């Protein structure tokens, strides 16, 4: 009997056949110790990666007032994002290896943002932001896919939440960083906004180098796992239906994903909530400044908003994993966000306190619905490449929201972003309906499989008909709702 069998237990004993089929229960104490080790060695680095990426993405919103004066240019946001590279980058992750590809992406956007600190005109900004979008576009889907190869489905929402918490924390940290660096205006003959770009770019480059050396490619080669840990990881992946060490890419996996209605439904939900997310994260400083505060005080006032978003999301993600439910959190939180935007539309523009409170209401649901939506999508596809394609497709379509957000928040009417808030309100209502639809679809499939007789189940397995749609159509695959 091998290592896998030795470290697992079953009430009436276990065989090699049990190991292969993933029919083993695992010693909870040993598994908790293993998961803690994964959390300590993977999650901090992943969080740092996404924190610096989001810092670089959102620094444009922090420098709008200075850019317009220095470069004599119109509003520059419309070319910040690109949405064509999520799928190619995520599909290449396994072949190129995570540490190589992800570190290359980080170095790429670091160079782009440092270059932005030396631009002379609007054209230079457009080019650097376009390159930034290219490199950053592959980062989130690659990190998401990487996490799904280390954690079981019921553990993924909390770990993916760390990415979004990093994004939220970057808002607070970025506000403090901007507060300090923008005060360097004139130092060494450079404007404050140039210092902000250069310093943030250098920080990202350091993280990129560390990523190459410390980010594990998979659990089989992870430097921090011993042989017993790796054996336990094999059982975990088998028992959750994710382990496919010999799986290789085939174009059929792409078609399986494109023909799966779940892929398009989650993508619709993603672009809807991303309209709110991109608009909020990039333009929150502009919105708060519209209350009449100074540019410096505006940066400080963004910090509490993002701290609240981070703490609340961590709590929600924890309970979502614990009870294996997504929709029961996402649906009501869509309504909370809708209330927040309605408040921002209805409250008098001179009522600073209530308007500031409304930003807390908005952000309460934004990060949770975006992050849990990513987890839900990844949980709903089985097979490495089908899941990878689904994650890439969702992010590719979802990131088109950046182009929309850049247009709807262009200008204010009588101090109020009526168009921006109205479109965001409509978008979160679409997400509300989409999440209910996703829940009903998955519940239908779960109920259908639960009603199968043993003979019907065996017939489907023997015929292999589920393989035409993907591993998540296996009779034993139960969707997380």
For residue 90, the model assigns a pLDDT of: 86
For residue 468, the model assigns a pLDDT of: 59
SS3 content of the chain, % helix, strand, coil (to 5): 75, 0, 20
Stretch 4-25: mean pLDDT? 43
d(CA 422, CA 344): 10
For residue 334, the model assigns a pLDDT of: 95
Q: Considering the entire predicted model, what is its pTM?
A: 0.81
For residue 9, the model assigns a pLDDT of: 38
426: enclosing H helix or E strand: helix 418-450
- Using the predicted structure, report yes or no on whether residue 387 has a pLDDT greater than 70: yes
User: Which residues contact residue 339 at a Cβ distance below 8 angstroms, ignoring those fewer than 6 apart?
Assistant: 361
Q: Lowest-pLDDT range, 27-41, 122-136, 181-195?
A: 181-195
For residue 307, the model assigns a pLDDT of: 85
- Using the predicted structure, report yes or no on whether residue 108 has a pLDDT greater than 80: yes
- DSSP, res 84: S
d(CA 243, CA 220): 12
For residue 4, the model assigns a pLDDT of: 47
For residue 191, the model assigns a pLDDT of: 73
User: Which residues contact residue 322 at a Cβ distance below 8 angstroms, ignoring those fewer than 6 apart?
Assistant: none
Q: Residue 280 corresponds to which tokens in the numbers above?
A: 């909020």
55 C-beta neighbours (distance < 10 Å), count = 26
Q: What is the pLDDT of residues 325-369, one digit of tens each?
A: 999 999 999 999 999 999 988 887 778 788 889 989 999 999 899
Stretch 40-46: mean pLDDT? 93
Q: Lowest-pLDDT range, 17-31, 76-90, 317-331, 335-349?
A: 17-31
Stretch 452-460: mean pLDDT? 82
Q: End-to-end distance of the chain based on CA atoms, in angstroms?
A: 37
For residue 81, the model assigns a pLDDT of: 52
Structural domains of the chain ordered from first start? 12-240+250-473 (1.20.1250.20)
17 confidence band (pLDDT: 50, 70, 90): very low
324 confidence band (pLDDT: 50, 70, 90): very high
User: Which residues contact residue 468 at a Cβ distance below 8 angstroms, ignoring those fewer than 6 apart?
Assistant: 256
Stretch 460-467: mean pLDDT? 69
172 confidence band (pLDDT: 50, 70, 90): low
For residue 5, the model assigns a pLDDT of: 45
- pLDDT > 90 fraction of the chain, expressed in percent and rounded: 32
Please, what's the b/e burial string for 122-145 (b: 16 or more CB within 10 A of its CB; e: otherwise)? eeebbebbebbbbbbbbbbbbbbb
**Of residues 103 and 400, which shows the higher confidence score?**
103
Q: Lowest-pLDDT range, 148-162, 182-196, 206-220?
A: 182-196
Angular region, 154: left φ>0, alpha ψ -120 to 50, beta rest:
alpha
Stretch 59-85: mean pLDDT? 56
- Using the predicted structure, report yes or no on whether residue 293 has a pLDDT greater than 80: no
**Of residues 407 and 431, which shows the higher confidence score?**
431
For residue 59, the model assigns a pLDDT of: 62
- Using the predicted structure, report yes or no on whether residue 16 has a pLDDT greater than 80: no
For residue 406, the model assigns a pLDDT of: 74
Stretch 108-115: mean pLDDT? 87
Q: Lowest-pLDDT range, 171-185, 194-208, 309-323?
A: 171-185
Stretch 265-281: mean pLDDT? 90
* Top-ranked range on mean pLDDT: pick from 6-15, 53-62, 442-451: 442-451
For residue 62, the model assigns a pLDDT of: 60
- Average pLDDT, whole number, for the chain? 81
For residue 184, the model assigns a pLDDT of: 72
- Using the predicted structure, report yes or no on whether residue 436 has a pLDDT greater than 90: yes
d(CA 344, CA 348): 8
- Using the predicted structure, report yes or no on whether residue 51 has a pLDDT greater than 90: no
Stretch 466-474: mean pLDDT? 70
For residue 79, the model assigns a pLDDT of: 44
The four Cα atoms 333, 336, 342, 348 give a dihedral, to 10 degrees, of -140
* Top-ranked range on mean pLDDT: pick from 102-111, 341-350, 401-410: 102-111
For residue 171, the model assigns a pLDDT of: 66
Q: Residue 332 corresponds to which tokens in the numbers above?
A: 């009501």
471 confidence band (pLDDT: 50, 70, 90): confident
For residue 209, the model assigns a pLDDT of: 94
- Using the predicted structure, report yes or no on whether residue 146 has a pLDDT greater than 70: yes
- Using the predicted structure, report yes or no on whether residue 35 has a pLDDT greater than 70: yes
């Amino acid at each position: 009997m091998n290592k896998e069998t030795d470290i697992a237990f079953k009430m009436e004993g276990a065989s090699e056949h049990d190991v292969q089929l993933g029919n083993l229960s695992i010693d909870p104490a040993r598994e908790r110790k293993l998961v803690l080790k994964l959390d300590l060695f993977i999650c901090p680095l992943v969080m740092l990666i996404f924190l610096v990426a989001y810092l670089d993405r959102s620094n444009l919103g922090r420098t709008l007032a200075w850019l317009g004066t220095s470069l004599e240019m119109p509003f520059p946001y419309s070319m910040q994002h690109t949405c064509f590279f999520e799928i190619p980058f995520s599909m290449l992750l396994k072949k190129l290896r995570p540490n190589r590809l992800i570190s290359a992406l980080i170095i790429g956007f670091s160079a782009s943002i440092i270059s932005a600190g030396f631009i002379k005109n609007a054209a230079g900004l457009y080019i650097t932001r376009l390159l930034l979008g290219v490199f950053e576009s592959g980062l989130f889907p690659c990190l998401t896919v990487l996490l799904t190869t280390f954690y079981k489905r019921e553990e993924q929402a909390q770990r993916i939440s760390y990415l979004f918490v990093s994004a939220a924390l970057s808002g607070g940290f970025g506000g403090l960083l901007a507060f300090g660096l923008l005060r360097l205006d004139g130092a060494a003959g450079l404007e404050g906004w140039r210092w902000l770009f250069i310093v943030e770019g250098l920080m990202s480059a350091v993280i990129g180098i560390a990523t190459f050396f410390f980010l594990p490619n998979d659990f089989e080669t992870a430097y921090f796992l011993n042989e017993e840990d790796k054996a336990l990881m094999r059982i975990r992946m088998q028992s959750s239906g994710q382990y496919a060490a010999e799986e290789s890419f085939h174009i059929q996996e792409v078609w399986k994903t494109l023909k799966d209605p779940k892929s398009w439904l989650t993508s619709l939900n993603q672009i809807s909530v991303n309209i709110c997310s991109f608009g909020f994260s990039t333009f929150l400083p502009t919105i708060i400044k519209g209350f009449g505060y100074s540019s410096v005080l505006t940066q400080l006032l963004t910090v509490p908003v993002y701290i609240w978003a981070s703490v609340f999301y961590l709590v929600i993600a924890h309970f979502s994993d614990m009870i294996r439910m997504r929709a029961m959190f996402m649906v009501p939180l869509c309504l909370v966000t809708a209330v927040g935007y309605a408040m921002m539309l209805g409250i008098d523009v001179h009522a600073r306190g209530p308007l500031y409170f409304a930003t807390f209401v908005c952000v309460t649901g934004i990060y949770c619905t975006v992050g849990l939506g990513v987890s839900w999508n990844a949980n709903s596809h089985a097979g490495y490449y089908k899941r990878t394609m689904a994650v890439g497709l969702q992010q590719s379509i979802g990131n088109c929201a950046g182009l929309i957000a850049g247009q709807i928040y262009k200008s204010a009417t009588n101090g109020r972003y009526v168009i921006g808030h109205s479109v965001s309100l409509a978008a979160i209502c679409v997400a509300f309906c989409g999440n209910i639809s996703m829940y009903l679809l998955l519940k239908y499939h779960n109920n259908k499989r639960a009603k199968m007789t043993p003979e019907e189940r065996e017939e489907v397995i023997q015929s292999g008909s589920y393989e035409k749609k993907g591993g998540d159509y296996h009779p034993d695959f139960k969707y997380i709702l």
